[in-house]
Structure 1
Amino acid sequence: MASILDIKIPKRIATALRLPDNDPRRQQLRVLKKLLKKARFTEFGQRYRFDEILMSRHAGKAFQEMVPVHDYNKIYEEWWKKTLDGTPDVTWPGKIKYYALSSGTSESASKYIPVTRDILRSNRINYLRQLVSLLSYEHLPRNAVTKGFMMLGGATDLQKGKAGWYAGDLSGILMKNKPFWFQTFYKPGGRIAAIKDWNQKLNEIVEKAPEWDIGYIVGVPAWCQMLMEMIVAHYKVNTIHDIWPNLGFFVHGGVAFEPYKKGFEKLLAKPIVYIENYLSSEGFIGYKAREGAKGMKLVLDNNIFMEFVPFNDKNFDADGKMVENPEALMIHEVELGKEYALLMSTNAGTWRYLIGDTLRFVDLEHHEVVITGRTKHFLSLVGEHLSVENMNRAIQLASEEFNISIPEFTVVGFPYENLFAHKWFIACNDVVDEEALRQRIDQHLCELNDDYAVERTSALKEVFLEKLPEEVFLKFMEQKGKLGSQHKFPRVLKGKMLQDWKEFLSTK
């Protein structure tokens, strides 16, 4: 079989892969001006005077002053809604052909995120960049490089809208638009990828698994772990390497990998390379670009203009809702170790759009970040400021200490005896002392988070833990119509999702 690295890349894409000068401010201003120039004749561009911004001496600051920030509800109601009727040139030139349906972990309804041909092209360039970056890895599993890609994503059989557009999972859209040369390496193939029923799709992959030589697995950790467990159980083997001996890479994103690592290691006969990327429905934001990197490198020169809103009480309320005019910094203004919410403006017609993730810069020279959580997925009932990053790390440490797999968890905060308490729901099929596990998670959080430690001696009176079979979490996601694909179980439950979870547990 030909190697992926032997493929001749089109000249246009090869040019794009040559990174320009590494001045982050210059790269980002160049991107912004390119976006403004292309969208200046759209309804949005006319409303917010893009031509005037382009003529400004300080385009970045003028853009921030003249264009308001948006969350999904605001930009959808004011702008994107009309594109569903086929109206062209609303926030980006032309008609929108694809919409990514978001996983909707924090909201009950799916969100329609525009996906343009321009952003699909940008995504492909970033995929190739990430692939090329692997060549710099000292411990590269050479046998895996030329093998197949197992991409566990949404159904490529997309739903068609009345105005001629298509909607579905982002992974399904990407597979629908994959380059011709990728077909040779891509598994499970077009027929299985089109299957909408998640359980049927997994069962067919299990049946075909011995016929494929897989070097890479790409997808959300929870579902990829489930697939490997099914294959190992079905063929009564010890590890996944008994079926796919050349498996060397796991490419993941969307959620922190720490809680899943112990479960993955139990399924492997030898170490593999874990590669994190930052791909959202709104764009390909970054990827791990070098071996040993602390975080993911932001892509600053490929059609995404980024702003960073300090994640603090000045810019966000207690429920994680952003204020109307937040402080927004450009890439050259951020600080190491500070936590920010990300605003994006892209060639899919998102403008100063709050994606909902919180980031922390871990390397300013390489512009590398780690995802610390979601603006609405954190707990701070009494000032404990407990982030998803803290939760993931505590779970990872506890699972290593007890030698158990915890593929899913979620946390709830509530009033308790005139003060407050947290309750953890843990998915674990291994035998473990629940009280000992509760104590260790609590102790780790006290060590990881000073605010939490202080509040555990005062207003945060108690921490509870309930261990549930992994199947309970899966059944809940299935009941919500969010089984498999890009869907993730929310790490913090609030509002309607919390009420649904309580009702589900009371009847299970």
Structure 2
Amino acid sequence: MEVLNSFMTWVFKTRLGQIENFKKNPIQTQRTVLFELIDAGRKTEFGRKYNFSEIKNYRDFADQLPLFDYDSFKPYIDRTMEGKQGVIWNSKIEWFSKSSGTTSSRSKYIPVTEESLEECHYKGGKDMLSLYLSNYPNSKLFSGKNLTIGGTLEKNPLNPQGTAKAGDISAVIMKNLPIWAQIVRTPNLETALMGEWEAKIEKMARETMNENVVSIAGVPTWTVVLLRRILELKGAKHILEVWPNLEVFFHGAVAFGPYRSLFKELIPSEKMRYMETYNASEGFFGIQDQPDSDELLLLLDYGIFYEFIPMEEWDSENPKAIPLQEVEIGKNYAVVISTNGGLWRYKIGDTIRFTSTAPYRFKISGRTKHFINAFGEEVIVENAESAISFAAEKTSSTILNFTAAPVYFSSDENQGAHEWIIEFKNPPENKDQFIHLLDNHLREINSDYDAKRYKDLALKAPLVHFASPGLFEKWLGKKGKLGGQHKVPRLSNDRGYLEELLELLKEEI
């Protein structure tokens, strides 16, 4: 295994020169990507409709193509799912990634082409390993197994008899992995792609608990569930008693801050490493390239052309998107992408904030639809996660999950509030102190929230419900959304999710 580890480490480090190239030449790299995409889409139905052959520069591209969200782009995807080829891309599309739905659709189906698999998702995985090995040259990453917690596959709902298939992006990626990658991962593919989540966790635990697991890749929420079950089966106090050679957790999908203390309990080692990725159904967008920073490096040579909508323009009738060279540090932007998966000027619903432009690094700041702005306070997910992590750290408590929504003005009340449900593994001894810390930290990091909280002018202190472990999992189970691609909505501007959880909370009291 030592020989294999040395060889694989050398192989992955060969990519570092190309990463340095796009870091040093970001604008030229993006320009090349744009015209490669336009050339590939020129003869598609979409390309003919929007006159790709007449596009000479970025301004032509932005003028000739409108901005799309999922609902407006869905007709093109549906026709492709029904079996029509050449609609949005010039090669055959045989896979679709399923993710959380929109207002009009229970689920979204994102096309996954061979090019997007090879030149985006797989390249992202390889670059993640390359950067990790560069940062930790003494790593033994290939001396054991990588535990991957994937999703599930299903038939194409619009063409069940056809050859095209659908599934969570992690399942699509896993199903198509090359042989060398299958050899170094655990559990076996059949278990990893099981559909019934509770049975899947049980089987994964029993298959992996006796392996030499060196790394884990997955969503923090479900990784915690799996690790806890393994500890129960092994009668161990912490996971290093089970996997003494575990060295890194590659995580994504949700912010890691609220989970950090929980992972320190499960894996009590200062040598344990954590590396964040930003990989979605639509593409692989970012990797944490610096060990001691929570910033992500924007990935620029992956067949993705980026545009950005300043959030102050988001609600305007015709919001204007700007290219990479026009972004400013510190501002919030909604991300727009055109990709080698056949998406064109597509609004993915995520917001980011740039922290650097040389190279381009950023933080995920939230979702265009997951925020609370009921009273002009403009609280985004990044604010909430920062405040809740701060309060948990100061009170030595451990958080499993949370959500929040507004309490609107009523005929009896001239003030609103934010109502939170927070699920704890270890609740704080002093609940009032926790609420005070949460509220004060939000005021420190968000001036709009602070202004509304001044002397309880518009917002009273937050109302917080302290829940025991299992509430959010029970809620997801009732909605049929147990699984790797389903996440608890952190913030909502309406009370739908919160009211459902409050009903479950009442049943437990």
Q: TM-score, normalised by structure 2?
A: 0.92
Following superposition, the deviation at residue 120 of structure 1 comes to 0.3
CA drift at 1:66? 0.9
Which ranges in structure 2 are unaligned for 5 or more consecutive residues?
Answer: none
In the alignment, structure 1 residue 6 sits paired with structure 2 residue 7: yes
Where 1:455 maps in the other structure, the secondary structure is helix
Corresponding residue for residue 423 of structure 2: 427
Question: 1:89/1:495 Cα in 2 relative to 1: closer, same or farther (>3 Å)?
Answer: farther
SS in structure 2 at match of 1:342: strand
Matching residue's letter, 1:450 = S
Name the counterpart of 2:34: 32
* Alignment partners' CA distance in 1, 2:174 and 2:398: 31
Shift of 1:107: 7.4
User: Which residues in structure 2 correspond to 1:264-413 (within 5 Å)?
Assistant: 264-271=263-270, 272-312=272-312, 315-317=313-315, 323-413=316-406
After superposition, the Cα gap between the structure-2 partners of 1:5 and 1:177, relative to the gap in structure 1 and judged at 3 Å, is farther
The alignment yields a C-alpha RMSD, in angstroms, of 2.3
Q: Report the 3-state secondary structure (helix = DSSP H, G, I; strand = E; otherwise coil) of the residue aligned with 1:111.
A: strand
CA distance 1:281–1:451, change in 2 (3 Å): same
Change over 3 Å in CA distance of 1:107–1:262 after alignment to 2: farther
Residue 277 of structure 1 aligns to a residue in which SS? strand
Q: CA deviation at 1:31?
A: 0.2
* 2:140 match: secondary structure: helix
User: Could you say which structure has the greater relative contact order, defined with CA pairs below 8 angstroms and 6 or more residues apart?
Assistant: 1
User: For each residue in 1:214-256, what CA deviation from the matched residue of structure 2 results, as whole angstroms up to 9, or x when unmatched?
Assistant: 1111111111112112222332212100001111111111111
Aligned residue number for residue 64 of structure 1: 62
Counterpart in 2 of 1:445? 442
Does the 8 Å CA contact 1:17/1:125 hold for their aligned counterparts?
no
Q: Retained in 1: the 8 A contact 2:192–2:204?
A: no
Q: Cα deviation per residue 1:394-426 (whole Å; 9 max; x = unaligned)? A: 111111112111120000102141321110100
Do the aligned partners of 2:308 and 2:335 also contact (CA within 8 Å) in 1?
Answer: yes
Q: Do structure 1's residue 102 and structure 2's residue 104 form an aligned pair?
A: no
1:119 and 2:116 equivalent? yes
| Partner of residue 320, structure 1 | none
Q: Distance in 1 between matches of 2:406 and 2:139?
A: 47
Structure 2 CA distance for aligned equivalents of residues 487 and 247 of structure 1: 26
Shift of 1:94: 3.6
Q: Which runs of 5 or more residues in structure 1 are unaligned?
A: 318-322
CA-CA distance at 1:305 after TM superposition: 0.1
What code does the residue aligned with 1:73 have?
Answer: D
SS across alignment from 1:436: helix
Q: In the TM superposition, what is the alpha-carbon distance from 1:144 to its structure 2 partner?
A: 3.9
Q: Hey, what does 1:153 align to over in structure 2? A: 150
Q: After alignment, is 155-164 or 204-213 more displaced?
A: 155-164
Secondary structure at 2:306's aligned position in 1? strand
2:245 alignment counterpart: 246
Spell out the pairing of 1:182-197 with structure 2 (5 A cutoff). Answer: 182-197=181-196
Q: Write the letter of the residue equivalent to 1:241.
A: L
- Give the conservation status (yes or no) of the 8 Å contact 2:337–2:343: yes
Q: Match of 2:207, SS?
A: helix
The corresponding residue for 1:81 is 78
Q: Is the Cα contact below 8 Å between 2:94 and 2:163 reproduced in 1?
A: yes
- 3-state SS of 2:146 partner: strand
Residue type of the partner of 2:68?
H
In structure 2, do the counterparts of structure 1 residues 150 and 215 end up closer, same or farther at CA, with 3 Å as the change threshold? Answer: same
Distance 1:106 1:396 in 2: 30
Measured at CA, do residues 158 and 14 of structure 1 come closer, stay the same or move farther in structure 2, by a change above 3 Å? farther
1:425 match: secondary structure: strand
Aligned in 2, Cα 1:8/1:364: closer, same or farther, shift over 3 Å? closer
Contact 1:157–1:172, Cα closer than 8 Å, also in 2: no
**How far apart are residue 346 of structure 1 and its match?**
0.1
Q: Deviations over 1:256-277 (max 9, x none)?
A: 1000001110111313111111
8 Å CA contact retained: 2:71, 2:104: no
Q: Alpha carbons of 1:18 and 1:339: their partners in 2 closer, same or farther (altered >3 Å)?
A: closer
Q: 3-state DSSP class of the match of 2:96? A: strand
What is the rounded CA distance, in whole Å, between the counterparts of 1:108 and 1:233 in structure 2?
A: 39
Distance 1:223-1:108 versus aligned 2 partners, 3 A rule: farther
Letter in 2 for 1:236: G
Amino acid at match of 1:84: M
- The range that moved more, 454-463 or 261-270, is 454-463
Deviations 1:25-82 (A, max 9, x none): 11111000000001101111001111100xx2xx1111111100000111003x1121
Residues 107/485 of structure 1: CA separation in 2 closer, same or farther (3 Å cut): farther
Structure-2 residue corresponding to 1:467: 466
Give me the whole-angstrom Cα distance separating, in 1, the residues matched to 2:239 and 2:92.
44
- What one-letter code is carried by the residue in structure 2 that aligns with 1:398? A
Residues 108 and 392 (structure 1 numbering): CA distance in 2 closer, same or farther, change over 3 Å? farther
Q: Which amino acid aligns with 1:424?
A: W
Q: Could you say if the C-alpha distance between residues 107 and 48 of structure 1 is closer, same or farther in structure 2, counting changes exceeding 3 Å?
A: closer
Native 8 Å contact 1:279 1:285 kept in 2? yes
| Aligned mates of 1:305, 1:133 — CA distance in 2 | 22
- Give the match's secondary structure for 1:407: strand
- In 2, Cα distance between equivalents of 1:92 and 1:310: 28
1:478 correspondence with 2:477 = yes
How far off is 1:507 after superposition?
A: 5.2
Q: What is the Cα deviation at residue 106 of structure 1?
A: 7.5
Name the amino acid aligned to 1:232: L
**Alignment partner of 2:426: what SS?**
coil
Structure 1 residue 429: Cα displacement: 3.2
User: Contact 1:263–1:404 (CA<8 Å) still a contact in 2?
Assistant: no
CA distance change for structure 1 residues 143 and 85 in 2, over 3 Å: closer, same or farther?
A: closer
Which whole-Å deviations, capped at 9, do the CAs of 1:446-493 have from their partners, x for residues lacking one?
Answer: 112121111012111241000112211001011111113122100013
